[in-house]
């Protein structure tokens, strides 16, 4: 009897906690969504009418069709895609070298690359600004593409090294014996087997670049505007009054990440936890 009571109490506590955490998790973002669906005048009075059923899609329409938002947005997607392609290509080439070849200072170079990842952005953002100002490349696509690619590269090298190392060398050697060239053996044998790692790296690099704010704000921001910077411009422009528009814009920014996440759930998690979790 007491045992059963105890079990019920534990069950109630567990449900209570899990449900409150779910509410806590969703509250700010769902109120932002609600705000995005409100007409502007809902926030003219105090208290604002959050609870009226007066809903509209005008804010989304305005943001997507009548403002610069869509340009910021497409620019960001372009930058993130380019950065992730560069990061994955160069990173996995490097990782392949680590996993398949023996060479001098291999261990030292590997540890150095891991250590590079620990350099905080705050420590290098001023010198990066100075470097790119000197060669007159501030406010270009290339600055953001390169720096974001480099930012995600160390982790990709480590992640891919793990994947390549888990593929037995003998498989490639068998392909040579069957008459494949070096390149062909890589494309036909190693590449498909490493594909989950590549997918995880690609997603990690994309999300890394897509979420970047500091680099985009300091090294670009007048000609090339990413959506994160655009969002702050948006809110300043309207002195915080038009929170309906900012909310609508912010909400559209969530969409690609949610889509990536729901389709590539597993690789997303492997990438975002740096391969610490391989399911």
Partner 1 sequence: MIIRKKITPFILLSPAVIMLLGLMLFPLAWSFFTSLKSMSLFDLMMHSGEFVGFSNYADIFQDSNFWNALKNSLIYVGISVIGQVAFGLLIASILHSKIVKFSGLFRALFLIPWITCSVVAAYSWIYFLDANIGFLPTLSLNFAFLKALGMDRRDWLTNPSIVIFVLSVINIWKGTAFSMLMQSAGFQSIPGSVFEAAKVDGANAIQRFFRITIPILSPFILINLVMTTMITFNIYDMILVITGGGPAHASEVLSLYVYNTGFVNGEIGYAAALSMILFAVNLIATVFYLKYLNPRRGNND
Report the phi/psi class of residue 250: left, alpha or beta, with left for phi > 0 and alpha for psi in -120 to 50.
alpha
The span from the CA of 234 to the CA of 216, in Å, is 15
Of 59, 72, 79, 91, which one interacts with partner 1 (CB under 8 A)? 91
Contact flag: residue 48 with partner 1 (CB under 8 A): yes
What radius of gyration do the chain's Cα atoms show? Answer: 24
Least Å distance, CB 192 to partner 1, is 19
Burial of residue 161 (CB within 10 Å: 0-12, 13-18, 19+) is buried
Cβ proximity to partner 1: between 188 and 278 the closer is: 278
The span from the CA of 182 to the CA of 176, in Å, is 7
Least Å distance, CB 61 to partner 1, is 20
Least Å distance, CB 219 to partner 1, is 11
Q: Which residue from 160, 48, 64 is spatially nearest to 110, judged by alpha carbons?
A: 160
Q: Which residue from 121, 114, 263 is spatially nearest to 202, judged by alpha carbons?
A: 263
Contact flag: residue 65 with partner 1 (CB under 8 A): no
Contact flag: residue 46 with partner 1 (CB under 8 A): yes
Q: Which positions from 174 through 193 interact with partner 1, judged by CB under 8 A?
A: none
Q: Which positions from 135 through 154 interact with partner 1, judged by CB under 8 A?
A: 146-147, 149-150, 153-154
Give the chain's count of helices (H) and strands (E): 13, 0
Contact flag: residue 113 with partner 1 (CB under 8 A): yes
Q: Which positions from 195 through 254 interact with partner 1, judged by CB under 8 A?
A: 207, 210-211, 213-214, 218, 228, 231-232, 235, 240, 243, 246-247, 250-251, 253-254
Contact flag: residue 194 with partner 1 (CB under 8 A): no
Of 9, 18, 171, 263, which one interacts with partner 1 (CB under 8 A)? 18
Count of alpha carbons within 13 Å of 88, Cβ hemisphere only?
Answer: 24
User: By CB under 8 A, which span of 60-68, 167-175, 190-198, 261-269 interacts with partner 1?
Assistant: 261-269
């Amino acid at each position: 009897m007491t045992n059963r009571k105890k079990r019920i109490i534990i069950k109630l506590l567990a449900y209570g906690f899990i449900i409150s955490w779910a509410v806590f998790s969703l509250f700010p973002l769902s109120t932002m969504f609600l705000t995005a669906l409100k007409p502007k005048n809902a926030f003219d009075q105090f208290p604002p009418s959050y609870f009226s059923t007066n809903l509209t899609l005008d804010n989304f329409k305005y943001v997507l069709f009548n403002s610069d938002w869509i340009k910021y947005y497409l620019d960001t997607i372009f930058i993130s895609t380019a950065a992730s392609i560069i990061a994955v290509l160069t990173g996995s080439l490097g990782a392949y070298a680590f996993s398949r070849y023996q060479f001098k200072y291999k261990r030292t170079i590997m540890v150095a690359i891991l250590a590079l990842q620990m350099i905080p952005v705050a420590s290098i953002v001023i010198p990066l600004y100075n470097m790119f100002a000197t060669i007159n490349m501030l406010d270009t696509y290339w600055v953001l593409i390169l720096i974001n690619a480099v930012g995600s590269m160390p982790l990709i090298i480590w992640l891919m090294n793990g994947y390549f190392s888990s593929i037995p060398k003998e498989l490639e050697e068998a392909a040579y014996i069957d008459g494949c060239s070096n390149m062909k053996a890589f494309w036909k044998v190693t590449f498909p087997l490493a594909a989950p790692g590549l997918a995880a790296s690609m997603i990690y690099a994309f999300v890394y670049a897509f979420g970047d704010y500091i680099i985009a704000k300091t090294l670009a921001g007048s000609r090339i505007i990413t959506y994160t910077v655009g969002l702050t411009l948006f809110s300043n422009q309207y002195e915080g009054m038009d929170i309906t528009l900012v909310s609508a814009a912010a909400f559209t920014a969530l969409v690609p990440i949610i889509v990536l996440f729901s389709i590539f759930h597993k690789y997303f998690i492997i990438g975002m936890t740096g391969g610490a979790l391989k399911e």
